[in-house]
Structure 1
Amino acid sequence: MKRNFVYVLAALLISAASCSFTNKTFDNPDKDKLLIQLISYVLEKGHFNPAEMDDGFSEKVFDEYIRRLDPSKRYFLQSDIDEFEVYKHKIDDQIKDSDIAFFDLVHGRLVQRMEEGREIYKEILEKPFDFTKDETIVMDYENLPFATSKKELKERWKKYLKFSALSGYVTRIEEEEDKKGEDETYAMKSVDEVEEEARKSALKTQEEFFDLVDDLERKDWFVMYLNAIVSEFDPHTYYFAPEEKDRFDTSMSGKFEGIGARLQRKNDRIKIVEIISGGPAWRGNEVEVGDEILRVGQGDEEPVNIIGMRLEDAVKLIKGPKGSEVKLTLKKVDGTTEVVSIVRDVVELEESYAKSSVVEKDGKVFGVINLPKFYIDFDNYSDRNAASDVEQEIERLKEQGMQGLVLDLRGNGGGSLKTVVDMAGFFIEEGPIVQVKSSGKKKEVLSDTDERVQWNGPLVILVNELSASASEILAAAMQDYKRAVVIGSKQTYGKGTVQNVIDLNQFLSQKNDYGDVGALKLTTQKFYRINGGSTQLEGVKSDIAIPDRYSYIDIGEKDQENPLPWDKIDAASYRPWDGYVNYDYTVKKSKERTKENSRLALIDENARWVKKKQDENTYSLNYEAYRKSIDEDEEMAKHFDALSDYKTDLTFRSLPYENKLMEKDTVLRDKRQRWHENLSKDVYVEEALNVLADLQLTSDNKKRLAKIRD
């Protein structure tokens, strides 16, 4: 389906390009203007519900772009905004004319104002702060006006930096008091010494921030402008610069080709902050966390000095195709310098993949599968993907005598549509899974056509407010079939749209002067439950709603800018599963149980408190008042300590194949031990297992389940 759309759109755009791009663009060396043309055309022809580019659209882009550039209103003056507003209702016309005058004006002014900001923070942080003064800072940036003068702007900076230093000041004072409490002979630092330390820490934070800003090039700011434009179509339409497209592909497939290390730039140095288990660097055992990379060489080529280099550019040198050699000159943790040769390989990000565990409760064996995302390799579906991995984990769990399955989709933001359709088929004999509608076309029903059932026993699906897209498709389908009991938040995220990633390079001739122009992820379809309802905005309502930490925070699709509306279409033809004897009774029993659960009541109270703290936007800059508020918060936090102290009597264990891996891989062992410990404290998993224990299969399904196990 995705491939067909790309081919149709490609043909459409290429034919249009032959008559509308050549004279206008290919003789124009400005790549930015080309991108404007390409993106606006693809949006117009490919988006499910293209926005009308008029003065209203222009005004929204204007506001969004300024907000992205200066969210805390510490750089631009009101006079700058007044000057920019000449373009407030002209951006739509500029897009149509491939004119970037607005971007050029704003970008040039931003560079100027940020340089001024650099001087302001240095000047302010040279002098001590007086934390005895009674003053406050308001952080309601959305309603905060821009400063009308440089004097007012400087005062805004001063309060911001004072607040930043105050937090460190309070922490250091508490540390001094603790040391004195432990050792009466300890000579506490003076308040002046502590203030100076806190101020220096605030200075270091600002220097690190501006170092990151220095790494940004004009093209990075232009990408921000492009995304201010495309985000007005809907929250999930996004322009990927070439490097971002690579990262997106990595996140979707869970793998990349390289050395298998995570890097971080700090003070002009590139440091190794994590060695990825199973990767080439891990296998070689010569690279350590904390090593600094000084130079990078490709095979026998002259190494390149990367000190001071942008992190993105350094990563480009270090990554490379499987089988190629890279030589890293390292400053080791112990201060010595060493050259290490690594042969690059495919690196799999294990935390992106499905993992499973076994647990026994009341004499029954249950399985838990955690699925972080519906991953896929777009270039090769037969390679590792979410559906094939879950299928394999189910088989392994069945070998352990599993009698009920929990599929944990909490925090799963979605992914591949194909993998979710395939996965849903593991739990039903055959039938529709999801309905998909493209603009101006008849609906398409995606179905499971394979009568084989992977798991015919009791099934619970765990969700929360961050379960989105493909997660909602699976939960909705299993709920409509009455195949699974859905437990979790009152509703899931509410993303009922489908995106396709369009490579913009396909619309250019192979011989061009622009290089890689990136890709556009755009919304091309909406999906609907088999009962006809959309999950857009409304999400999936849990059969058993349980409070969690996100219950009162605005994080769903309905809380985003420019979401597409909810609607409904005709239901597909399907027949609910009749495999449970007591489905409704089990749901009722669970609701009664959770209603009386004191831990869940405390979680709800905590969620309300978190929401209250999140809504606060005025803070004292007086030490005594600020510390009093911190002490009150800490006292309230103690009230919620019982949440982290909670522990069930359940013991979770890895499967035999993983136990063998962990004999050699201590990193994997530590990760699994941490996961199992968290599961044993998880009230939601505990209730999911209670529900599995309560669910009773019909006699026919008991026979089918026995057959499946055999």
Structure 2
Amino acid sequence: MNAILNYMKRNYKILGIVALLAIFLASFKTVSSELGLNNSINSILGIDKVDADPDKDKLLLELITFVIEKGHYDPAKIDDAFSKGVYKSYLESIDPSKRFFVQSDIDEFSKYEDKIDDMILNKDLSFFDLTYNRLKQRIKESEGFYKDILSKPFDFSKNEEFNTDYEKMPYPKNDDELRARWEKQLKLSVLSTVTDKQKLQDTPADKKDSTKDAAKVSDKKADDGKKKTFAELEKEARESTLKSLDDYFGVIDDLKREEWFSVYLNSIAERFDPHTFYFAPDDKEKFDTSMRGSLEGIGARLQKKGDYVEISELIPGGPAWRGKELEQGDLIMKVAQGKGDPVDIAGLRLDDTVKKIKGPKGTEVRLTVKKVDGSLKVISIVREVVEIEETYAKSSIVKKDGKIYGVINLPKFYIDFENKDNRDAAKDVAIEVKRLKEQHVDGIIMDLRDNGGGSLKTVVDMTGLFVQQGPVVQVKSAGKQKEVLSDTDSSVLYDGPLVVLINNFSASASEIFAAAIQDYNRGIIMGSKQSYGKGTVQNLIDLNQFVRNNALGDLGALKTTTQKFYRINGGSTQREGVSSDIVMPDRYSYIEMGERDSDNAMPWDKIDPAQYKPIKNNFSDAIAASKKRMAGNEQFKLMDENAKWVFAKKDENTYSLNIDKFKAKVVESEVEAKKFKALNDYKNSLVFEGLPYEKALLAKDPALAEKKERWFESLSKDIYVEEAINVLGDMQNKTAKGNAVTVKKDKMVKTR
């Protein structure tokens, strides 16, 4: 989602003030004998003389704020408002469920709320020291709470409730209130586990999904065939919750001060914008690994959100993506290994949650997730190794009303700058377009749904396949003139009817492509109301480059926003994204998604437009026909109804701790959700198939044939693709003729 656009590599040179600063520092010969810092940066940062045993935390604080202020595209002013933002973000990060601090702690902390800005400038760590030491104290006290609470059975006959909207929840007034909160939180956790166990063992054998190995879980029936009693299930649930918390506190006890300090540093860094982030040395190594594309496990990328972990991206072709149950935006609450009991992951670090979810190929993991509509669902997934080929461009053809149409799916804008022989999304898409033209297609769908972006060079090249030479995107660095990145090839590979499919999770490079197609009036953009809204470029800055002869160890790295990109019409895609010409209802239609949902996202703005000439296409009739068609389509009506239901349910955070009422609410939600089952069961009458060249390949490779068939099957259930095909039919013969374009010969492929 937050893919870093490789604009620097496109130019094969270092750009931006941060990189220039590094060169500037390296050019000086006089260095501090103790630390190796350049005397100039000593003066700039206010370091008079570094002690023989320097404080690494202070140095990191200085380096990070200095580099951000000098290198960020639009650095926020470090003032009282900034201080209050850091204060709120930091406390939410270290105690997201408000189950450690009490109100007296907050009263003591609050005197620093508008002083953190001054403390940053003065290299004062007293606020961090105070909160860090108090947190360690409160964590130790809480260990006694949960062990005592879980030692006795819960009484689920009481009429109690618990609200999980921790952000709006006040801090406990005292230790008694804190213990009461722990008790209710643990009671809800055990209650949900017990009801899951009951449901599993009450499910008839003929309705169990054997493909997910559901029959193997231990909490269905005892080995002798008898159902376990409620007391037995409740005891098992308490024991598994106890083990989960023991593991959790074991992890917390092992955390070093420097790891907590990284949380504090990121509370500062992320106030500049959501994509500015400090990577401690270990985190940087993991980030580098993730950028290389390690895709083992369930095929999902995760990010921390409050006390839990959010699904930020599903890897195309992976088991989670194929299962269609796990979705972006889902919150993972519990993790179970095969037939093991579910483990509550509340408060666990992201790394530790990932370790629980990952596992050997062929093993099962069961995730208890909170859906966007607020409902809880247990999803079983068999782990696999996700084939990297699944992220590459692929195409299919489909016939309708005597016409042939092509679908190109592009999961990301990939490229390898280091190896010219490696895959490049623009080249691969050109090959797929060529193959579709050989089939004499009457229109092409470019499917960029869930495409989180990638290389800026690639999107410029790919846009050039569909338009004449001209500007594609404008890039601006702080304090510099804009640079217009253009397609320089005057030929066009395909000039026929074109539809671009996007959704809420189409981000970054995807938005550049969609915006360029829209600004040139080259095709129709269809999908969600608007795309994700990420219109910024990040670069990873190694902090070690600023320090010579470093005796302090690895200082880590900083990912910071250095540039913004703009449409050729001058508008930014930041926050607003790209608005669809034809808005198609989806389950997130009424929910704020993407960059605009973040309180510290950079604002939308505009610059002067580039010089470009829109194509004289008139799509008004095709757009009007689609809107009329969807208005009368029962499936789209149901989708819109589902979206309204999701919006109404999203803020339902209060759960009854009475087992009868809890079960009744679960049943009520299931009944309400049943009417929307038709959305998953939908199947169109279209037959999608591979291109002729693939037939010989698929005959020799059954595994590849199976993957293709799965994709064709998913297309046959996709109402959005179906409507896009209808729109292509409406567009045919109405694409502007007489535009001075030179169609690229089939044998040619763009290789700029």
Q: Contact conserved, 1:254 with 1:348, CA < 8 A, in 2? A: no
1:612 to 636, 639, 648: 648
Are 2:433 and 1:421 aligned?
no
Are 2:364 and 1:364 aligned?
no
Tell me the residue number matched to 2:504: 465
Tell me the residue number matched to 1:501: 540
Tell me the residue number matched to 1:387: 426
- In structure 2, relative to structure 1, the CA distance for the partners of 1:392 and 1:13 (3 Å cut) is farther
Q: Distance in 1 between matches of 2:395 and 2:247?
A: 40
Q: What pairs with 1:163-174 in structure 2 (closer than 5 Å)? A: 163-174=188-199
1:520 to 539, 558, 565: 558
Q: Distance in 2 between matches of 1:194 and 1:50?
A: 54
Alpha-carbon displacement from aligned partner over 1:517-541 (angstroms, at most 9, x marks no partner): 2222212222221112222222211
Tell me the residue number matched to 2:125: 100
Q: Distance in 2 between matches of 1:131 and 1:390?
A: 58
Alpha-carbon displacement from aligned partner over 1:341-383 (angstroms, at most 9, x marks no partner): xxxxxx9733443333333333333222222222344655774
Q: Distance in 2 between matches of 1:398 and 1:643?
A: 33
- In structure 2, relative to structure 1, the CA distance for the partners of 1:575 and 1:233 (3 Å cut) is same
Which shifted more, 547-556 or 626-635?
A: 547-556
SS at match of 1:95: helix
- In structure 2, relative to structure 1, the CA distance for the partners of 1:640 and 1:472 (3 Å cut) is same
Q: Contact conserved, 2:85 with 2:271, CA < 8 A, in 1? A: yes
Tell me the CA shift for residue 82 of structure 1.
Answer: 2.5
Tell me the residue number matched to 2:490: 451
Q: Contact conserved, 2:317 with 2:391, CA < 8 A, in 1? A: no
SS at match of 2:592: coil
Q: Contact conserved, 1:252 with 1:376, CA < 8 A, in 2? A: no
1:647 to 657, 678, 683: 683
2:709 to 670, 673, 694: 673
Q: What pairs with 1:694-709 in structure 2 (closer than 5 Å)? A: 694-695=730-731, 696=733, 697-700=735-738, 708=746
- In structure 2, relative to structure 1, the CA distance for the partners of 1:197 and 1:234 (3 Å cut) is same
Are 2:611 and 1:586 aligned?
no
Tell me the residue number matched to 1:4: 15
Aligned residue pairs, count: 640
Amino acid at match of 2:581: D
Tell me: higher relative CO, structure 1 or 2? Use CA pairs within 8 A at least 6 residues apart: 2
Are 2:97 and 1:72 aligned?
yes
Tell me the CA shift for residue 50 of structure 1.
Answer: 1.0
Q: Distance in 2 between matches of 1:236 and 1:7?
A: 18
Q: Distance in 1 between matches of 2:183 and 2:80?
A: 37
Which shifted more, 669-678 or 541-550?
A: 669-678
- In structure 2, relative to structure 1, the CA distance for the partners of 1:101 and 1:668 (3 Å cut) is farther
Q: What pairs with 1:324-343 in structure 2 (closer than 5 Å)? A: none
Q: What pairs with 1:126-525 in structure 2 (closer than 5 Å)? A: 126-178=151-203, 188-213=227-252, 216-254=255-293, 349-377=388-416, 379=418, 383-509=422-548, 511-525=549-563
Q: Distance in 2 between matches of 1:312 and 1:610?
A: 30
- In structure 2, relative to structure 1, the CA distance for the partners of 1:705 and 1:365 (3 Å cut) is farther
Q: Distance in 1 between matches of 2:449 and 2:317?
A: 24
Q: Contact conserved, 2:491 with 2:744, CA < 8 A, in 1? A: no
Tell me the CA shift for residue 79 of structure 1.
Answer: 2.2
TM-score (normalised: structure 2)? 0.77
Amino acid at match of 1:540: V
Q: Distance in 2 between matches of 1:311 and 1:618?
A: 26
Are 2:636 and 1:625 aligned?
no
Q: Distance in 1 between matches of 2:298 and 2:684?
A: 36
- In structure 2, relative to structure 1, the CA distance for the partners of 1:19 and 1:9 (3 Å cut) is closer
Tell me the residue number matched to 1:682: 718
SS at match of 2:153: coil
SS at match of 2:574: coil
Which shifted more, 84-93 or 375-384?
A: 375-384
Tell me the CA shift for residue 482 of structure 1.
Answer: 0.8
Tell me the CA shift for residue 661 of structure 1.
Answer: 6.2
Tell me the residue number matched to 1:111: 136
Tell me the residue number matched to 1:270: none
Tell me the CA shift for residue 57 of structure 1.
Answer: 1.2
Amino acid at match of 1:438: S
SS at match of 1:460: strand
Tell me the residue number matched to 2:328: none
Q: Contact conserved, 1:253 with 1:378, CA < 8 A, in 2? A: no
- In structure 2, relative to structure 1, the CA distance for the partners of 1:354 and 1:707 (3 Å cut) is closer
Q: Distance in 2 between matches of 1:380 and 1:240?
A: 27
Amino acid at match of 1:417: L
Which shifted more, 548-557 or 216-225?
A: 216-225
Q: Distance in 2 between matches of 1:467 and 1:573?
A: 26
Tell me the CA shift for residue 647 of structure 1.
Answer: 0.3
Alpha-carbon displacement from aligned partner over 1:636-683 (angstroms, at most 9, x marks no partner): 111111111100122223456666666676655544333322221111
SS at match of 1:610: helix
Which shifted more, 169-178 or 155-164?
A: 169-178
Amino acid at match of 1:87: Y
- In structure 2, relative to structure 1, the CA distance for the partners of 1:132 and 1:261 (3 Å cut) is closer
Q: What pairs with 1:535-546 in structure 2 (closer than 5 Å)? A: 535-546=573-584
Q: Distance in 2 between matches of 1:165 and 1:101?
A: 39
SS at match of 2:444: strand
- In structure 2, relative to structure 1, the CA distance for the partners of 1:277 and 1:413 (3 Å cut) is closer
Q: Contact conserved, 2:317 with 2:390, CA < 8 A, in 1? A: no
TM-score (normalised: structure 1)? 0.81
- In structure 2, relative to structure 1, the CA distance for the partners of 1:242 and 1:662 (3 Å cut) is farther
1:20 to 41, 47, 57: 41
Which shifted more, 517-526 or 79-88?
A: 79-88
Amino acid at match of 1:95: I
SS at match of 1:490: coil
Tell me the CA shift for residue 228 of structure 1.
Answer: 0.8
Q: Distance in 2 between matches of 1:209 and 1:460?
A: 49
Are 2:66 and 1:41 aligned?
yes
Say which structure is richer in helix.
1
- In structure 2, relative to structure 1, the CA distance for the partners of 1:368 and 1:244 (3 Å cut) is farther
SS at match of 1:4: coil
Are 2:51 and 1:51 aligned?
no
Which shifted more, 417-426 or 208-217?
A: 208-217
RMSD: 3.8
Tell me the residue number matched to 2:325: none
Tell me the CA shift for residue 501 of structure 1.
Answer: 2.1
Gaps of 5+ in 1: 265-275, 279-289, 292-309, 317-329, 334-346
Are 2:637 and 1:601 aligned?
yes
Q: Distance in 2 between matches of 1:389 and 1:624?
A: 57
Tell me the CA shift for residue 331 of structure 1.
Answer: 14
Q: Distance in 1 between matches of 2:602 and 2:120?
A: 23
